[in-house]
Structure 1
């Protein structure tokens, strides 16, 4: 049975939101580097611009993509959208601590809830696609984002790829990383079981590229990789 978008949202409850920052930095080696490079890639893509409006989809939790971009580009403004209220609240707390709430519009809901007549200069979609089951749901989200971007606008897509069980060495290394950070053998086993059952990532980089092409984006440039994780920059086709 296919999981519904609601079930994907329900995974990110208050308990998960409260631990998201620490857990993410263990699960993704190079978490902060990926977000820092996201800011650099978008700045390089947009060139010299006095201001830019950035759509950050799935920014709940740490809001790290916004924090990184705001530090690099003080004139940029952001729209953060997330369907999970606890995750969006956690992001708001991080943005408040970094004095960025005044530069960020916060929206609880789906991308489809945003107006189509206010286009963004760029977008980010980090750590989201692998939580959506099936290519149709992934394409739908990418197409919704595309509708809200200016022609030729860059989009950062980052998340897990590969069918996890097809990469036993990477999966074992992922478990070893948790062990490095103090997880017991039983905790590592539980986390491995959870990742195998709790997500549906694209099964290859070629599959990521195909999803982007099918959704109205051009060829993507990969700029970051860490075990299962990859990060790419693509552009809305005109």
Structure 2
């Protein structure tokens, strides 16, 4: 993430991230569980693997899901936000996964260039990066640290929000149904419209991946604005 993206994830955002994410994304836990299943299928039911989890701060849910389902996997959790990584550390400790996880505060580019991973995840990250150049640069950094042919899970919002008024209204109604007042709904809708820059279509996600050196994509989850795909490093 760039500096402006990182600044959004301060202590107050980190502390409420788990609850907020599960309201904003219907099927939050299911998406992460399916990501673990898709990686296991792609890795051929590997008994051991090293997984790079980019943007794992906050809930660390991708690592919790993978770690509980695959006891032989180990993880590198990367996040540029100190409060978010601290929150993830507490979650990993409470799930007895801290000993299987290395933690890195900072960007992917700061990881050793000579280390390679069997697979990677980047979940809920791309739509927080402004512009295609930043999104593509992150994907290229991830690719450089994957083994040839290694799978990558990408998940996040993939519509220009204002282009989908019915989905936007449904998103707001989900907050109302979970107890948000009219003023809170308005504030949250304003935040989602101003605080992120998602790819504008599934085709745009695929284009970014292809330009960054990844192959064809398989979508395995969808929820309002959100989609999740599996692809592989080419070359």
Into which bin does the TM-score normalised by the smaller protein fall? over 0.9
Match of 1:158 among 155, 159, 166: 155
SS of match in other structure, 2:9: coil
- d(CA) in 2 for partners of 1:59, 1:124: 9
SS of match in other structure, 1:61: coil
Match of 1:212 among 204, 209, 214: 209
- d(CA) in 2 for partners of 1:147, 1:204: 25
Q: 1:46-69, CA deviations, whole angstroms, 9 ceiling, x for partnerless residues?
A: 013221000000000000000000
SS of match in other structure, 2:21: helix
TM-score by length of 2: 0.99
Q: 1:74-114, CA deviations, whole angstroms, 9 ceiling, x for partnerless residues?
A: 00000000000000000000000001000000000000000
- d(CA) in 2 for partners of 1:13, 1:107: 17
TM-score by length of 1: 0.98
Q: Is the 8 A contact 2:47 2:70 kept in 1?
A: no
Structure 1: gaps (5+ residues): none
Offset at residue 5 of structure 1 (A):
1.1
1:87 corresponding residue in structure 2: 84
1:44 corresponding residue in structure 2: 41
2:67 corresponding residue in structure 1: 70
- d(CA) in 1 for partners of 2:9, 2:233: 29
1:233 corresponding residue in structure 2: 230
Structure 2: gaps (5+ residues): none
Match of 2:182 among 175, 182, 185: 185
- d(CA) in 1 for partners of 2:89, 2:76: 12
- Kindly indicate whether residue 199 of structure 2 is the aligned counterpart of residue 202 of structure 1: yes
